[in-house]
Amino acid sequence: MIRVNVLAEGQTEMVFVKSSLNRHFRGQIVLNSRCVLTGRDKHSGKEYRGGMSKYQKAKNDIMHWLLEDTGAYVTTMFDFFRLPTDFPAYEKAMEYQDHRQSVRILEEALKANITSDPDFRGRPERFIPYIQLHEFEALLFTDVRVLKGDYLEPDEQRNLDWLYEETKEIPPEEINHGAETAPSKRLLNAVDYRKGAPCVWIDSLTIPAIRNKRPHFSQWLDSLSSLEGF
């Protein structure tokens, strides 16, 4: 059995991996996921997970999982939107207007930073970096009208139709990642959207349809599909 552990930035991504992606792969590979560890209560030992304010917190989790489960691959599901500024090669990546190039630089730097660490063990192939353009909500822009099944008010229905028309010619991975124009911000302007929405929307869109409009996301799934057992 080929197992892949996915370190996710937040709860939505974690649920997406455990549900939608596992259904998509149908046992070809088995994915587990957890969120980035952001803190721990010193007295109770309770862990706090979700979000990524500093790169080192994510690196600690990546290294821990690689050492903890040597029979599995480890990959990431981080958003390019609001990535911590201490991320490897961040300044270099931000010099490019083409954010696809930025993400390639960031992923290569992340791979090098992890696999060159003195504590890294095993083959470099065990670690597969992935950064989303630009955030999880971009997946919904495969066809934002899928949200109309839950947002039923006439003004919400009209706003979603308008948003679809506004963005239908823009590849989802190229939607602006500005503070007011990122995918999640556009949804917030259209409806009372809350991050962490159920993955049922994704399942309605289907992974193949999403892959057709998101080449970088599709390449990540291709890389997982091609993994070999240890």
pLDDT in tens, 23-69: 999 999 999 999 987 655 455 555 545 668 899 999 999 999 999 99
Name the domain count of the chain. 2
Instruction: Show contacts of 82-91: CB within 8 Å, 24+ apart.
Output: 83/52, 83/131, 84/52, 84/53, 84/54, 84/55, 86/54, 86/55, 86/56, 87/55, 88/55, 88/112, 88/113
Q: Is residue 33 part of a domain?
A: yes
Q: What is the pLDDT of residue 34?
A: 94
Is residue 158 located within the same domain as residue 55?
A: no
Q: Which domain holds residue 41?
A: 3-133+214-225
For the chain, what percent of residues have pLDDT higher than 70?
Answer: 91
pTM, two decimals, is 0.91
Q: What is the pLDDT of residue 193?
A: 87
Confidence of residue 121 (pLDDT cuts 50, 70, 90): confident
Q: Is residue 230 part of a domain?
A: no
Is residue 28 located within the same domain as residue 43?
A: yes
Is residue 9 located within the same domain as residue 121?
A: yes
Is residue 114 located within the same domain as residue 164?
A: no
Q: Is residue 209 part of a domain?
A: no
State the Cα–Cα distance between residues 101 and 168, nearest whole angstrom.
Answer: 23
